[in-house]
A and B are shown apart, each in its own frame.
Chain A
Amino acid sequence: AGPLALARDLLAEGGEPFFVLNSDVICEFPFAALAHFHRQHGGEGSLVVTRVEEPAKYGVVVSEADTGRICRFVEKPRVFVSNKINAGLYIFSPGILQRIQLRPTSIEKEIFPAMAQEGQLYAMELQGFWMDIGQPKDFLTGMCMYLQALRAQHPEKLHSGPGVVGNVLVDPSAKIGANCVIGPNVTIGAGVVVEDGVRIKRCTVLQGARIRSHSWLESCIVGWSCSVGQWVRMENVTVLGEDVIVNDELYLNGANVLPHKSIAESVPEPRIIM
């Protein structure tokens, strides 16, 4: 929260409420509904909550069912308290800036509890999907959820054609070769080249990467400008950082490869390659 104090002048100017978002979260971002909710209750802050199956992994929010006024927070509770967690989307009135000093500050631990005690903090329940995408495994899950929502709302944005299965998003500047089967749940970035005979499932391929022919990828993140060789098999949340080269005919199983590495040997069991 400390950084908000850095932007104090910019945020206070005009006196309007402002949104604050955790960037490692993906959902359908209900900005209009959240702004409306915030104006209605008139309190100093609103945050979005979402239901999860395993609330103990997160910070749990306890609030009044009818008004949404937040009573208290419990961080990673050991017994079941509530299944609603802080989704990392907020809207605040400028008054909150008086609570925040320019120093490292945890908004959940230091700011919110005081606001909740004063009855100034309200929770709005999120509709639709939500995912904390800080870990590669969850990033891919979040990607799948996003694509599913896109299919429901803007199916025309998804890629279709021969060799495309399920929800697939392809940048217009990407090139996909002959006899490929792409999808389900694949996103392909700008300038990516996928050569002939490639099979990709449940992957993110970032800008400028090249996947050479006959390779097979499932549940991977391929970083910017990577080069994946021919007849490579990558699976089980293999993550390639920027500018990684994977030689032909290798097998990568759960490899986490730091940027600018060349991989010349198979990685049959999950490990980190520095």
Chain B
Amino acid sequence: GTRFRPLSFEVPKPLFPVAGVPMVQHHIEACAKVPGMKEILLMGFYQPHEALSRFLVSAQQEFKIPIRYLQEYAALGTGGGIYHFRDQILSGGAEAFFVLNADVCSEFPLQEMLEFRQQHGDAHSFVILGTTANRTQALNYGCIVANADTQEVQHYVEKPSTFVSEIINCGIYLFTPAIFQHIGEVFQRNQQELVLEESSNGWQRAEVIRLEQDVFTALAGSGKLYVYKTDGFWSQIKSAGSAIYASRLYLNQYSKSHPERLAQNKAGGPIIQGNVYIHPTASISSTAVLGPNVSIGEGVTVGAGVRVRESIVLHGASLHDHTCVLNTIVGWDSTIGRWARVEGTPSDPNPNDPYAKIDSETLFRDGRLTPSITILGCSVTIPAEVVILNSIVLPHKELSRSYKNQIIL
């Protein structure tokens, strides 16, 4: 998709750092913790990329579990990829496997899903992780109606136009090899339909399979599909604004799961408010004030009297003295000059509603750019003393004045 531009110009979205580590590393950490996890397969349509190769090497070393990237030959949809690579998935003799969408942020209650399946289903049951949304926002997701006692999925609709259920699909599943039978049936049906159409790339289009619309909808009511409801934190990460929100959720989790990743106030160090991640190689002035919800990447320099709040500063960036950075993603190797103010508008879910989810933002509304997180692409230069407000600056731009509510090409 293109909703993560301009940040996705530099790295595949699953590698974008959220709370200081690549988005998909949170998934890998959760998987590696599950006893009996044999292997992790990353599946995607991204071309080979140096960052990806480096990540695979370091992740395998750190988590001591085989991790491989399987590149799809075409974008095959949420079901087509795993179907295409079914032999790889089953090759180790796995009795079950998890499928996780990379662009979600979650507590990943994987162990709990396994236990739930034991208690409520059987060795052949499939489990969807579900969570509660409010009635309006649920329409943006896959909606699940389940039997209140057995938690069997009775009905599934992807993005309905009228209210069906507040329980939504988190994009995290527990399957057994039997799932491929069901996906295979969809594949065959697709093929039969395309034979009738006689189009030249029919074989490819038959392999595009959507788990949600094509498989879950059919499995609902069959007694094979269950939903495990979680109250733990969960969010999609579709846009830059949601990356900052997801960072906040993971940084909150760090106090229990990875306290060593949270910066502490200490003599000679910057002032830390709330949860802040600072890469060990970053260089921060002792008069800077950081947080809450700030991630500082590798080799970043933060000058005297700098204020950073609710922002992600990517590696190599440089914030000069007295700058003020709020609700912003500062791109790799960008520079912000002295006294500049770089500010965005957060799109957080309503804090008064425990089930509110972050909105999928539209870039424009009524012909005007909606106020949103400010994004500086890679290697952007912001001069001293200007204000950049609610704007998106594409990579390698060297600005010479202030901008507000604009996309700068």
Contacts and interface: CB of A to CB of B under 8 A. Distances in A.
Nearest to B343: A251
B155 interface: no
Contacts, number: 43
A251 B322 contact: no
Interface stretch (B9-17, B118-126, B302-310): B302-310
B307 A214 contact: yes
Given A196-B305, A197-B304, A216-B341, A231 B324 contact: yes
Nearest to B387: A233
Interface centre among A196, A231, A249 (most CB of B within 10 A): A231
Contacts of A238: none
B397 interface: no
B389 interface: yes
Interface in A191-221: 196-197, 199, 213-214, 216, 218
A179 B326 CA distance: 23
B333 interface: no
A249 B326 contact: yes
A263 to B, nearest CB: 16
A109 B389 CA distance: 49
A26 B89 CA distance: 83
A49 to B, nearest CB: 39
Interface string A19-36: 000000000000000000
Contacts of A249: 307, 309, 324, 326
A176 to B, nearest CB: 15
Given A179-B304, A251-B341, A216 B389 contact: no
B385 A199 contact: yes
A235 B321 CA distance: 19
B404 A214 contact: no
Interface centre among A196, A214, A230, A268 (most CB of B within 10 A): A214
Interface in B376-408: 385, 387, 389, 404
Given A216-B322, A251-B341, A268-B404, A230 B389 contact: no
Interface in A171-194: 179
Contacts of A235: 387
Contact of B307 (A196, A218, A231): A231
Contacts of A251: 341, 343, 387, 389
Contact of A233 (B309, B324, B338): B324
A213 B287 CA distance: 11
Interface residues of A, number: 15
B302 to A, nearest CB: 13
Interface centre among A213, A218, A230, A233 (most CB of B within 10 A): A233
A251 B341 CA distance: 9
Q: Sort chain B's interface into a size bin.
A: 10 to 19
A249 B322 CA distance: 11
Contacts of B343: 251
A268 B402 CA distance: 13
B339 interface: yes
Contacts of B322: 197, 199, 214, 216, 231
Interface in B311-339: 321-322, 324, 326, 338-339
Contacts of A231: 307, 322, 324, 341
Interface in B117-148: none
A47 to B, nearest CB: 43
A214 B305 contact: yes
Interface in A214-250: 214, 216, 218, 230-231, 233, 235, 249
Contacts of B309: 249
A216 B326 contact: no
Interface in A244-274: 249, 251, 268
Contacts of B338: 199
A179 B322 CA distance: 10
Interface in B272-320: 304-307, 309
Interface string B333-366: 0000011010100000000000000000000000
B305 A216 contact: no
Contacts of B304: 179, 197
A233 B341 contact: yes
A231 B404 CA distance: 18
B69 to A, nearest CB: 42
Contacts of B385: 199, 216, 218
Nearest to B390: A268
Contacts of B326: 249
A231 B306 CA distance: 8
A268 to B, nearest CB: 6
A214 B306 CA distance: 8
B387 A197 contact: no
Contacts of A268: 389, 404
A230 B309 CA distance: 13
A214 B339 CA distance: 7
A211 B279 CA distance: 33
Contacts of A197: 304-305, 321-322
A218 B343 CA distance: 18
B382 to A, nearest CB: 13
B291 to A, nearest CB: 13
Given A179-B321, A199-B339, A251-B341, A213 B305 contact: yes
11 contacts: A197-B305, A197-B321, A199-B322, A199-B338, A199-B385, A214-B306, A216-B341, A218-B385, A231-B322, A235-B387, A249-B309
* Cβ-closest 9 pairs across A and B: A197-B305, A214-B305, A214-B322, A231-B324, A231-B307, A216-B339, A233-B341, A197-B322, A199-B339
Given A214-B305, A216-B341, 16 more contacts: A197-B305, A197-B322, A199-B322, A199-B339, A199-B385, A213-B305, A214-B324, A214-B339, A216-B322, A216-B385, A231-B341, A233-B341, A235-B387, A251-B343, A251-B389, A268-B389
